[in-house]
Amino acid sequence: MAHSSAFASSVLCLFVALPFPAPAAPPALPAAPAEDQFTPLFNGKDLSGWVNVNGAPNTFTARDGMIVSTGVPTGVMRTERMYENFILELEWRHLKAGGNAGVFVWSDPLTAPGVPFARAIEVQVLDGRDSESYTSHGDVFSIHGAKMKPDRPHPEGWERCLPSERRARPSPEWNHYRITARDGTLKLEVNGKEVSGASECRPRKGYLCLEAEGSECHFRNIRLRDLPPSGAKPEETAEEAQGFRPLYTGLDLSGWKAGEDQVKEWKPRDWMLECAGQSPLEWERELRDFILICDWRAGGEDKPAGVALVRLRGSDKAEFPFSGSAGEDAAKPGEWNRTVITLRGDRLTLVLNGKTVIGGKTIEGLPVKGPLALLGRGGKVRFANLYLRELQ
C-alpha cells in the first residue's frame, strides 16, 4: 500500500505539473501613426530641401519659423525629391482677404507649356471666394494634364472635388491641412476633418510644391511621414528633374544684359516676358553646350504676330526662329508653343511642341562659346518658362 500510494502521488504530481495549452494570441492590430515618424520638410531657418522652379530669388523665403511667399511672380517652389505614398501636414494663412495659393501633389519638376504651374494634383489654398464651382475650404483638382476621379461629381463636370463642408478659417487666421496620398488616392482633412479627395490620380508619384499666386501667404509646421511605396509605373510617375534652372525671375531682367534699349523694349509681365522691339536680349554669361527650354507666343489677343528667334553663342550664323525652318514647323499661331533646343559642339537639334524640326544640324563656323540671346521681329512676342541646363 505504501508503494502504491507513492506511485499514485507521483502520477498526480506529474499530471499537475503538465501545462495546459496557452490560448492563441489575438492578431496584432496595425500600429497607430507615431508622431516621431514624421520628418520636417522645413527646418524653420532656410529653404534647404526646396528648389525654386520659376520664381524670383525672394518669392519664397524663410522668416520667423515660416515659409513666406510674396505671391509674385506667379509660380512654384518644389521639393528636391519625389514622393509616392505619404501623409503631409502643414499650416497656412493668407495675410489679405481673397488671397490665393496652393499645394501641388505628385508634380512634374518644371512648369507645363504656356502656364506658370506644373502638371499636378492641386490642393487649393484660397481665402474668401466661394461659389457653386469652387470654394476656399479645401478643393482638390487636377491641373495641366494630370488626371483624377473626384470623390463626388462636380456640378459642372470638372475634375474637381468640392469639400463636404466649409471648415477653413478666414484671413489672417491659421488653417491646418492633412493630406494622405496612397496608391493614387488623395484625401484632405481641413482643421481636423476629412472633407475632400480623389482617386485614380495620375501621376501618383512626383514632387511636392508650394504655389505663389498674387498675394502674401505663410506656411509653417510642414512635415511628412513616408508610407511604404506600392511601385508606381513609369506612366504613373512625374517627370524626373534633370538639373534645369530658370533664366527669368518674373520680376525684372536680372541675369540679362539690359541696356537702355532692352529696358525700353523688354517688359516683365509677371511670369511672361514681353518683347515689343528689335533689340536682342543677351544672357549675361557665355555658354558652350546646353539644353534650352523656352515657351513663346507670337501675336494673339488682337496683336500683330511677330517672330520669336534665338541666337546661339553670339553668332549670326546660329540665329533661328523658335519654330524651326520654314515649312517644317508645328507652331500654333497665336498660342503658346514650347521649343527645346540642344546644342552640342556645332550640332543643333530643335524640337517644337514635341516634334523634331531640326535634327542634329551642323552649323559651320560656330564659336566654341558665346552668349545666348532672345529676339523678336515684326510684332509683339512673349516668352515664358525659360530653363537652361548646361552640358559637359
Q: What is the pTM of this model?
A: 0.88
pLDDT at residue number 29: 43
Walk me through the domains of the chain, giving residue ranges and CATH numbers.
Answer: 36-239 (2.60.120.560), 246-390 (2.60.120.560)
* pLDDT reported for residue 27: 47
Measured distance CA(76)–CA(213) in Å, rounded: 9
**3-class secondary-structure state, position 95:** coil
> How many other β-carbons are positioned within 10 Å of the β-carbon of residue 132?
9
Q: Please, which residues bridge with residue 52 across strands?
A: 77
pLDDT of residue 20: 39
Query: Which pLDDT score, from 0 to 100, does residue 252 have?
Result: 97
Encoded amino acid at 150, one letter: P
CA neighbor of 265 nearest in space, from 252, 249, 278, 282: 278
Give residue 34's pLDDT: 56
pLDDT, residue 359, reads 93
The predicted pLDDT at position 389 comes to 98
5 three-class SS: helix
Give the E-state strand segments of 48-146 in sequence order. Answer: 50-52, 60-63, 66-69, 75-79, 86-94, 100-107, 120-126, 140-143
Given this model, what pLDDT does residue 301 score?
Answer: 60
pLDDT at 158: 97
Q: What is the mean pLDDT of each run of 10 residues along the chain (392 residues)?
A: 41 38 46 71 97 97 98 98 98 97 98 98 96 96 98 97 97 98 98 98 98 97 97 97 97 96 96 94 97 90 76 92 73 93 96 94 94 91 97 91
CA–CA distance, 123 with 76 (Å, rounded to integer): 13
Q: DSSP assignment of 76-93, as one string?
A: EEEESS-BSSEEEEEEEE
Nearest Cα neighbor of 341 from 284, 294, 376 is: 294
Give the residue from 390, 389, 391, 387 showing the smallest Cα distance to 113: 387
Phi, psi of 299 (to 5 degrees): 75, -150
Q: For residue 189, what is its C-alpha cell?
A: 482633412
Question: What integer pLDDT is reported at residue 302 of this predicted model?
Answer: 56
